[in-house]
Structure 1
Amino acid sequence: MKKLPAQAVPAEDGQRMKLEGEQTLLRVVLRSTDRYSWRRRTVEELLRRALARGLMGATVLEGEGGLDSAGQFVGSSRWSLVRRRLLVAEFLDAPAIIGAFLSDAAAVVRRGTLMLERAHVLVFRRRQEQMQAIRTHLAVPDRVPPSACLPAAEEFPLMRTFVDGYLLRIFMDDSDEWRGQPLYQAILHQAQQLGLHSLVVLRAPLGYGTHRRVHSPRSADYLTDLPVLVEVVDSREQIERLLPFLDEAVPEGLVTIEGVKMWRKVEA
């Protein structure tokens, strides 16, 4: 796959460089209490190994609750001494680099779900040496099938254990309700009853939705009307089982569905 040449883009405080291309996004859903060793959490070990392999970027998001890869509820009550949360760790880089990192993720994660999807990326840097290092990670965004932007099973055997799955995202407000309870909790309970796995509830500190009102820490409704995102990863059949409930329960909002490659690990 050819590499895309850098393009100079003017900026107010000098010149910046832009690269554009196709990459692989790896998303790992795991429990915040999982530990890789007695002194390091699983997510910390993942970040350490990502840095060691030189991955371009990593982001960790913390959910308020959800279902783990075994379909068990994860969350903390007001009386809990241990803060139990689901974490979403995202890693972005070229297919071959992510492919090599998969063995690390599989070895480190005791109970979790891995997702792979294609990502079209724009990268901006101010220093030429930084751009030169990133240039080798990006490929030309030609018309290629999504599978071409994923690690090859021939080179990375673990890819043969990944299966087709779907990532369902439900965008709503914290104030949305269903029969007297928060809508996101109703979706979580329904998903658990249907036997779905890997669901995480994420609360956004800033955003707007159907009514085009910006919710932020400065808003009067900050504590009661924050944007909420529910993400579910499962097979097509399981996702389809949840859709009729969403048709009935979601009064206003946005739902997106996209295909991913997924891999689950469940260990007691």
Structure 2
Amino acid sequence: MSMTRRMFVATAGAAAAQACGLTAVQASQLNLLDKTLIAILADGKKYTLPKRSSFIIATDQLIKAEGPEQLCRDQQGVCRTNYDAGVVELTPYLLKVLNVVNAVVNDNFDPTSDLELYGVPEKWVQHNAAHIFGKVKGDCEKHALIKRQILIWLTANKTGQRLFPPGSLMITIGGVPRDMENEGHAWLTVRTDHGDLTLCNLFPDVRPMAEVNYFLYAISSPAGLSRWHVVQPSMQAPGAWDRNDILAMQPSGFYDPTPIQPAETSSWRRKALGLD
């Protein structure tokens, strides 16, 4: 599809999909971005806005993140650091777009570890959704990066403004409960006027952060992916988490610039674990 035709499909009514005259063969050759745009048109479900909920609160404490640092070295254009903080004024249509993007990207992924793909435990790579045909191999942060990329690309009809300001799209690092995977995890957080919404590869629908029982470790800065902040200790560990789960949770590739000694009773980690 040309860019003009793609934007027509993205912004016109549901009849635009038929107007494109796509055959079954052509449909099978769509890239991931086009699949997402067509799916937005095809989704006739009515979405109800969630109740206003909470936001992830970040501290001023920065952490070093090996995966994102390597990403910013390898693909510098992905890591702009001058985005303004943004909040999406959520509407039923925008909620639909978020749900479709989450589901389509999840459906077009073949879960594969970095060790299997690259021979290293952790490697962050930003794939280009417009160049992805078929399923892409990758793990949780690649889901989050592609969803963020697609949402940044989407523009409003006529005005040309972005539907989702880049500063409203942040990647969160943490962990999932023992009954799911019990390992480090990454997902996309979208900041809206109804609270932070979670787009995750472990479920097809978009969920308010307050309803997701995840351990919150760090979140990227609204300015870009080169700065990562520790999440406020009071928000890090949901009540359903077992303390042993949290003690075992150290997301791969993330570490504090200044090591925290266990004896430091004032550390954010000890507060998060309820040890003081």
User: Do these two structures clear the TM 0.5 threshold for a shared fold by scoring above it?
Assistant: no
Write 1 or 2 for the structure with the bigger share of helix: 2
Write 1 or 2 for the structure with the bigger share of strand: 1
| TM-score after normalising by structure 1 | 0.28
| TM-score after normalising by structure 2 | 0.27
